[in-house]
Amino acid sequence: MLTNVQPNAQPKSRLRWSSNLPKPGSGDVPYAKSRPELKGFSEAQITRHILDSAAWKEVVKPILAQLDKERARPGKEQPLYTSEELESVLLYQRVCGYGSFKRARNALAGDRNEARQLLGFDKPRNLKRRVVKLFDGVPSEATVSRHRARIGERRRLAAYLALEQRLLKEHLALPELQEEARILNLDGTKIQTHYTAPIIDRTSGRTVNDARVTAPEAGYVPHSAGVDKSGHGWNLVSITSITGIPLAWKVVPLNASEKDVAIELLRDEFSSRVKPHLQGDKLSVLSADGAFNKQELRAELRCLGIVENIHLVSHGDAPESQANAAKNSAKRIRIQGYKNWFTNGHRELICVCGVGTTIKRLGLDRNGKAVVRTEGSCKKCGSITITSGDWRRSQNPDNWVRLNPQNPNEKPDLLMGNPLTFNDGIAAEYGRRRFGHHEGFHGALVSRFGLIKDKRWFRRLDEAKIATAMTFCVMHVVALEQRRRRVEAEADKAQAPPALAA
Ligand SMILES: [Zn+2]
């Protein structure tokens, strides 16, 4: 292990960044436990922090207060716990990433000094009992289970979705996140269930396992789709900032088309809840793997002022992927009107002599739509400008031709002219960051919040959605707190006398 390397040092970049392209900063995840500002910010403290937040008081508290009103019976004793107290245990469970309430309850009972005090469960409620036991003061499984039944899944989901939206808005008000959100990642990740989804026969369209289905709202994908995509459950399709902040998401049956879900996500959630808060005059970049290669999705992104970094061919190490990439690199496709220039299968411009270079021309037009262009130049072969959206691939002979503006049936190949290509260094840098970010956002979902990877006991779609919304609430709250503490620490440092500041 290298010990003399600065932990946050970045390799010196020799890449030439077009001035309009967002540069990835450190990309550090603000809610990561390793953040120095978050040292000692325990799960119980995080839970308390959420309960004390303005967002919770505005959005969730009134719903729980209403529930208490519905519970009240004239002439009967007050219940031992308020609905907010009962909900706080479920929130604590999610903050800890525990799959079962039992684990959360054990953790609470075992943490007399902090968790129980912070959440107000440090005193026995049922005073008729004579012997004080370990679990006294902590609501029982049955009590919490009755609370869940009382509030109902639909109402709980609505509460957490509203809370998440409220927190996202608060978070997006920070110029810091607005800048981070110029580099986006789009991903699909499965939420597996122990239950059985309907298995639908492709040819007949019929469910073949009717009698065994225990999770009718889940989807099933066969093993042939590969380890990442197959199983029973749901797919969490999300758009996140380079710093791992969830901006827009949908949970859908595992067998739903990822590409189509992504298009809906952009049209609905992203357009209405995220886009209005971003810097409208700046171009963004979105990276995704080849599973999201679809012209309609590219077009949708361009309309939102985003240039896509999505390739036709997988960057994986598998022999098939490598062979496919090599085949596309070797291919030469003619371009109508330019006898000295070709593209390869990745739509990368290449001149006849091979010495020519290309530059990226990226920006926004007056309507905020992404303008995407590649220019090539060579002393011998002359110059070329390809504007993405103006070209389509024609067969017999196989070549690139200009779109006929009179013919609305002609559709462009939007990869043609997009300089963020398979072999491009800047595109690769964004892609590399996508994998780095996986360790942040993805890693947190796996190991800290226990939402993905292992199977969950989710029977219904709403259960998966509630867990996702709650998790994202936690990410926002912790990230906001980290940013606040950092600003505070910097201000303290600036005010301190020079000797102390050093
Ligand atoms: Zn040349």
Residue 286 C-beta-side C-alpha neighbours within 13 Å? 26
The structural domains of the chain, ordered by start, are 36-151 (no CATH), 181-311+424-475 (3.30.420), 319-402 (no CATH)
Ligand 1 centre from 197 Cα, in Å? Answer: 57
Ligand 1 centre from 422 Cα, in Å? Answer: 21
Q: What is the DSSP letter of 22?
A: P
Side by side, the strands of the sheet bearing 382-387 are 357-364, 370-378, 382-387
Angstrom distance (rounded) from CA 251 to CA 249: 7
Per-residue pLDDT reduced to its tens digit, 32-87? 999 999 999 999 999 999 999 999 999 999 999 999 998 888 777 788 899 999 99
Ligand 1 centre from 416 Cα, in Å? Answer: 19
Ligand 1 centre from 382 Cα, in Å? Answer: 7
Count other C-beta atoms under 10 Å from residue 323's C-beta.
Answer: 11
- In DSSP terms, 287 is beta-bridged to 185, 309
Cα distances from 419 to residues 18, 85, 442, in angstroms, run 11, 54, 28
pLDDT of residue 132: 53
Ligand 1 centre from 353 Cα, in Å? Answer: 4
Statement: the pTM of the whole predicted model exceeds 0.85: yes
Ligand 1 centre from 389 Cα, in Å? Answer: 25
Tokens of 234: 């749901």
Ligand 1 centre from 354 Cα, in Å? Answer: 5
Q: Are 118 and 79 in contact (CB under 8 A)?
A: no
Ligand 1 centre from 222 Cα, in Å? Answer: 49
pLDDT of residue 269: 96
Number of H helices, E strands in the chain: 16, 14
Ligand 1 centre from 356 Cα, in Å? Answer: 5
Ligand 1 centre from 323 Cα, in Å? Answer: 27
Ligand 1 centre from 327 Cα, in Å? Answer: 22
Find tokens 């029982």 and name the residue.
140
Ligand 1 centre from 357 Cα, in Å? Answer: 8
Ligand 1 centre from 376 Cα, in Å? Answer: 9
Strands 284-287 and 338-343: unpaired
Per-residue pLDDT reduced to its tens digit, 187-208? 999 999 999 999 999 899 899 9
Ligand 1 centre from 184 Cα, in Å? Answer: 35
Long-range contacts of 328-334 (CB under 8 A, 24+ apart): 328/422, 329/422, 329/423, 333/393, 333/398, 333/399, 333/400, 334/397, 334/398, 334/399, 334/400
Side by side, the strands of the sheet bearing 333-335 are 349-351, 338-343, 333-335, 399-402, 391-394
Ligand 1 centre from 360 Cα, in Å? Answer: 18
Angstrom distance (rounded) from CA 216 to CA 198: 6
Residue 129: burial class (beta carbons within 10 Å; 0-12, 13-18, 19+)? exposed
Nearest residue to 47 (alpha-carbon basis) of 158, 110, 99, 121 = 121
Residue 341: burial class (beta carbons within 10 Å; 0-12, 13-18, 19+)? buried
Long-range contacts of 168-173 (CB under 8 A, 24+ apart): 168/247, 168/273, 168/274, 168/472, 168/476, 169/273, 169/277, 170/55, 170/476, 170/480, 171/245, 171/476, 171/479, 171/480, 172/247, 172/274, 172/277, 172/278, 173/277
pLDDT of residue 434: 72
Ligand 1 centre from 335 Cα, in Å? Answer: 15
Angstrom distance (rounded) from CA 167 to CA 302: 27
Ligand 1 centre from 163 Cα, in Å? Answer: 57
Ligand 1 centre from 371 Cα, in Å? Answer: 26
Ligand 1 centre from 15 Cα, in Å? Answer: 22
Nearest residue to 340 (alpha-carbon basis) of 303, 379, 308, 301 = 379
pLDDT of residue 142: 93
Strands (E), 370-442: 370-378, 382-387, 391-394, 399-402
Angstrom distance (rounded) from CA 177 to CA 284: 13
Strands (E), 140-230: 183-192, 219-221
Ligand 1 centre from 381 Cα, in Å? Answer: 4
Tokens of 105: 């309850």
Secondary structure in 3-state letters for 431-450? HHHHHHHHHHHHHHHHHHCC
Handedness of CA 59, 48, 27, 178 (dihedral sign): positive
pLDDT of residue 10: 40
Ligand 1 centre from 21 Cα, in Å? Answer: 27
Ligand 1 centre from 311 Cα, in Å? Answer: 25
Q: What is the DSSP letter of 271?
A: I
Find tokens 């963004």 and name the residue.
284
Ligand 1 centre from 307 Cα, in Å? Answer: 28
Angstrom distance (rounded) from CA 388 to CA 269: 26
Ligand 1 centre from 350 Cα, in Å? Answer: 8
Q: What is the pLDDT along the chain (502 residues), one digit of tens a residue?
A: 333 434 444 444 456 777 799 988 777 899 999 999 999 999 999 999 999 999 999 999 999 999 999 888 877 778 889 999 999 999 999 999 998 899 999 998 887 778 888 998 887 776 665 555 667 788 999 999 999 999 999 999 999 999 999 999 999 999 999 999 999 999 999 999 999 999 999 899 899 999 999 999 999 999 988 888 899 999 999 999 999 999 999 999 999 999 999 999 999 999 999 999 998 889 999 999 999 999 999 999 999 999 999 999 888 888 988 999 999 999 999 999 999 999 999 999 999 999 999 999 999 999 999 999 999 999 999 999 999 999 999 998 999 999 998 999 999 999 999 999 999 999 999 988 776 666 689 989 999 999 987 898 999 999 999 999 999 999 999 999 999 999 999 998 888 776 655 4
323: enclosing H helix or E strand: helix 319-330
Ligand 1 centre from 377 Cα, in Å? Answer: 8
pLDDT of residue 438: 60
Residue 149 neighbours by CB under 8 Å, 6+ apart:
none
Ligand 1 centre from 342 Cα, in Å? Answer: 11
Nearest residue to 229 (alpha-carbon basis) of 257, 205, 201, 210 = 257
pLDDT of residue 437: 60
Ligand 1 centre from 359 Cα, in Å? Answer: 14
Ligand 1 centre from 391 Cα, in Å? Answer: 22
Ligand 1 centre from 252 Cα, in Å? Answer: 49
Ligand 1 centre from 309 Cα, in Å? Answer: 26
Ligand 1 centre from 349 Cα, in Å? Answer: 11
